[in-house]
Each structure stands twice: as C-alpha cells, then as structure tokens.
Amino acid sequence: MQVNLRVLAGPYRGRVFSFTQPDTFLIGRTDDSHLCLPEDKFFSRHHCLLEVNPPRCFMRDLGSTNGTFVNGQRVGEAFLKSGDQIQGGETVLLVEVNANDVSVQTSAGVSREENLSRPTIVNVECLNCGRREKAEAATADEHLTFLCEDCRIELKHAPQPIPGYDTIRILGRGGMGSVMLARDQVSGRAVAIKTLLPEFAVSDKAMRRFMREIDVAAALKHANIVEFLDRGVNQGVVYLVTEFIDGPDAAKLADARGGHLPLQEGLAIISQALAALSHAHGQGYIHRDIKDQNILVSGSWPNITAKLTDFGLAKSFTQSGMSGVTVAGEMAGTLAYMPPEQLKNFRDVQPQSDIYALGMTAYSLLAGTLALSLGRKTSMAETIKAIFEQPPIPLRERAPQLPAQVCEIIDRALVKDPTERWQSANAMRNALKHVS
Ligand SMILES: Nc1ncnc2c1ncn2[C@@H]1O[C@H](COP(=O)(O)OP(=O)(O)OP(=O)(O)O)[C@@H](O)[C@H]1O
Ligand SMILES: [Mg+2]
C-alpha cells in the first residue's frame, strides 16, 4: 500500500511525496519541516503534522493561528482518504491511496487516475466471534487475520488463555493489549504473557514481518533486558512470552514512594537502564518507547534489578499495520517521552532519541513530573507543539533538593538538538557514576 501527497498548488506545485511505510510529515515555516514554507505568512512555525501508515493517513493541526483546511473545512484533526485535499495559504495537497507501490511522476499536471490502483475491499471474519466485516487489502486473494472491535475490547479486559500456559492473573494493561502472569505447563516456570490485539485486519505478509522483528529483538540478551521466551498467534491474538518480573514497573514504584524515587534508588534504576541501552545500541537496536512503565524493577533496595522491556515493540506493531497512527491512537501515552526528531522523522531515529526518552524517564522518576509543562488536560496537539517548541524546564527548578551535577546530566539528555545530547548511553552512565 502507498500514500502519496501530491502538491496541486503553492510553491511546491508538482512535487509528490510518497510513503510506503509509516512516517510523519511536518508542514510549517521552520526549516526542518518536510514542507517548509518560510515565506508564507499564513503558516505557523509548526503548523500541522501528518502521520502516514499506508493506507491510513492522519492530519493534526498543531494549534496553528490560521488553521488547516480539509476539503474546504477548517479541522483540528482528520483521518484522510484518497481524493481529500489539504489546504493552507496558497498550498493545496491531494491525498492519494494506492494498493501497490507504483512509481509516481513528479511533473506537474499528471492526471492522477494514471497511477491509481485503489485498494481492494474484501470480506473478513472475526477470528473470535465470526462476525463478518469488510476490510481493505492489497489484492482480492490476500489472507487476513482479523478481530472485530467488540472482541478487541472484550479480549483486552478478559484475555483468552494461551495454549501451553495456565493463566494466573492480569498484571496490567497497556496501549496494545494486556499482560498476564501465567505458568508454563511444561517447565512450571512463571512467565508474563503480553497479548497484542491488532486494530486492523493483518495480512500474512505483515504478520510474518512482525514476527521477524520480534525475533530480532528477542536476540537481545542482557542482565537489564527482560528475557524473551516465546511468541505466537492464537485465534487472531498475537502473544509474546517473556520472563516474569516479580516487582513493579518504575512508575508504580515511584508512586509507592510518594510520587518520586529517592536519589540513590532512582540513579541505580537509571544506570541499569542505561547499561541495557548501551548493549542494545551496540547491537544496532533502538528501543523507541522508553518510559517509566517499560522499566521493571525487582528486589528490594539496595539489591534491586531494573530491566527494560518492550524493545522496538511499538514500532513493529505500527509498521506491520496492526495499529493505525501513534498520535491518534492509544499509544499516545508515550508521546510526552518522544524526542522532537522521532515525531518529525519517524523512520530515522538514533541512539540519541532513546537517550532523550531515558532522560525524560529519569526526570519523571526523580522529580515526579515531566520536563515539559503539560497538564492532565493538555491536548495531543499541544503536547506535540511543546515537544517541538517548549524549552525543557531545568530539573533543578523542579527538584531543588537534587545535586546540581545530577540535574545537569539529565538536562543534557533532554536538549532538543540530538547532537547536543549525550552521544551514547555509556557516556551518560559514566557521568552519573562519577557524581553518585
Ligand atoms: N514481564 C513482566 N513481568 C511483570 N510485570 C509486567 C511484565 N511486563 C509488563 N508487566 C506489567 O504490565 C503492565 C502493562 O504493560 P504494557 O507493556 O502492556 O503497558 P505499558 O508499558 O504501560 O504501555 P505500552 O503498551 O506502551 O508498553 C506494566 O506496566 C507492568 O506493570
Ligand atoms: Mg510496556
């Protein structure tokens, strides 16, 4: 599947931006926008952000002064379909959704029908209740794994047992599904099973790709990374089996300590998470979803072990088409930890992007609040804008009791420009070691 944004009018008239994989596309006056309109006074600096996950395309206006228009109507956010026109100032973009990755001509005035082959609508059956619905497929004979919305909601709250494991209890629920404590019927070992509920009908090809990515992440072995044990698909539900960590995630631990962690305990957890990151980055792997909830802590102080979990999972889930778009979906909980470059260039994240998210996690664990001024009611558009534009609040201002050096080290992870941050997890870890 492919999404094209064809510029029909404005300074970029004739250009076509093509997406075959999940990506983001920023329109605004700043020079790091994908569609940069510095001279057009109509546009705000960060005007609107498109998130593409073919065949889906989602537009969010970032609280711009003059607004973003879809088919002539000013909208704050909208899922876009083939034929929709996005307009701001002189610029008009046409959205085209193609079934296959076709080459596009970039010269102006090309009749769009020439290149279009629309996705095929096929019948799909919910693997849980048998309900029939229609879904988009690249070809008419594509086999799709599908769960209807009602079953997804039900299965998130009451997951089905996975063959080979006895369910003991639910441990928690996240953006993609739930996590249960279970016992392996053969080894008797306690395990955690995370079930992932695809939001959309998934082709066999996409499912294979997802499993391949999971297998790559599973190869990461480290004392501070949750060990991966097994994976599979059961009646449309993807499940991942990992070691069970007998202890809370770092967010719950901080809550239990009254909102934030004592300095030494916080530093021990951060340092162990940095050791895990250093190992993963050395293997060419980026986590992309570091946050307090993805660090699991066992043992009791001072003998604690922190382990990072969910390596690359959110990205693989999105990339395989199992979820729609991050900035609209349930995964938005992660948004406040994302560095600006990850929102702007979804596909091109670096180790420094994880360092930012870990810096935000460290800040949150030690200060009990995030480095950006975001309230409970802050909208997603405001959060995105804050990530792009709001200077992070120095940690010392939020937590004056902390040593100045610790604050500086964490603040340095949160600089907007990735080249100004700690360049490696090890460098940040060593710096923390010397002050503690
Ligand atoms: N291996 C594990 N052992 C013990 N508890 C776990 C394990 N994995 C997850 N949990 C618990 O289950 C909760 C939900 O995890 P889940 O990963 O689904 O959600 P999340 O981390 O909040 O969000 P996301 O879906 O973005 O990762 C975690 O916060 C944690 O408390
Ligand atoms: Mg998680």
Strand order, beta sheet including 85-88: 16-19, 2-9, 91-98, 85-88, 68-70, 73-75
C-beta of 196 in contact with ligand 1 (< 6 A): no
Question: Could you tell me where the DSSP H helices lie in 116-262?
Answer: 149-157, 204-218, 250-256
Atom of ligand 1 nearest to the CA of 177: 18
Atom of ligand 1 nearest to the CA of 252: 31
Q: Minimum-distance ligand to the CA of 172?
A: 1
Please, what's the b/e burial string for 302-335 (b: 16 or more CB within 10 A of its CB; e: otherwise)? eeeebbbbbbbbbbbbbbbbbbbbbbbbebbebb
Distance in Å, CA 61 to ligand 1 centroid = 31
Over residues 337-347, mean pLDDT: 90
Atom of ligand 1 nearest to the CA of 178: 18
Cα–Cα distance measured from residue 333 to residue 406, given in angstroms and rounded to the nearest whole number: 26
pLDDT at position 117, please?
Answer: 61
Cα–Cα distance measured from residue 31 to residue 23, given in angstroms and rounded to the nearest whole number: 18
C-beta of 293 in contact with ligand 1 (< 6 A): yes
Cα–Cα distance measured from residue 335 to residue 289, given in angstroms and rounded to the nearest whole number: 9
Whole-angstrom CA distances from 1 to 28, 98, 143 are: 27, 6, 15
Residues whose CB falls within 8 Å of the CB of residue 88, separated by 6 or more in sequence, listed in order? 27, 42, 43, 47, 48, 64, 66, 67, 68, 69
DSSP 83: T
Mutate to test the pocket of ligand 1, among 290, 309, 318 (most ligand atoms within 8 A of CB): 309
Distance in Å, CA 180 to ligand 1 centroid = 9
C-beta of 265 in contact with ligand 1 (< 6 A): no
Q: Is residue 136 classed as helix, strand or coil in its secondary structure?
A: strand
Mutate to test the pocket of ligand 1, among 296, 318, 335, 338 (most ligand atoms within 8 A of CB): 296
**In the predicted structure, residue 189 carries a pLDDT above the cut 50:** yes
Q: Which residues are catalytic?
A: 289
Task: Name which of 80-89, 131-140, 328-337 the model is least confident about.
Answer: 328-337
**In the predicted structure, residue 116 carries a pLDDT above the cut 70:** no
Measured in residues, the chain has a length of 436
In this predicted model, what pLDDT tens digit does every residue of 25-80 receive, in sequence order? 999 999 989 999 998 889 999 999 999 988 889 999 999 999 999 999 999 999 99
Atom of ligand 1 nearest to the CA of 246: 4
Q: How confident is residue 104, by pLDDT bands cut at 50, 70 and 90? A: very low
pLDDT at position 321, please?
Answer: 75
Indicate which residue's Cα is closest to atom 24 of ligand 1.
174
In this predicted model, what pLDDT tens digit does every residue of 138-163 receive, in sequence order? 778 888 888 999 998 888 888 889 99
C-beta of 309 in contact with ligand 1 (< 6 A): yes
User: Quick one: tokens of 340?
Assistant: 């600006």
Question: Could you tell me where the DSSP H helices lie in 115-203?
Answer: 149-157
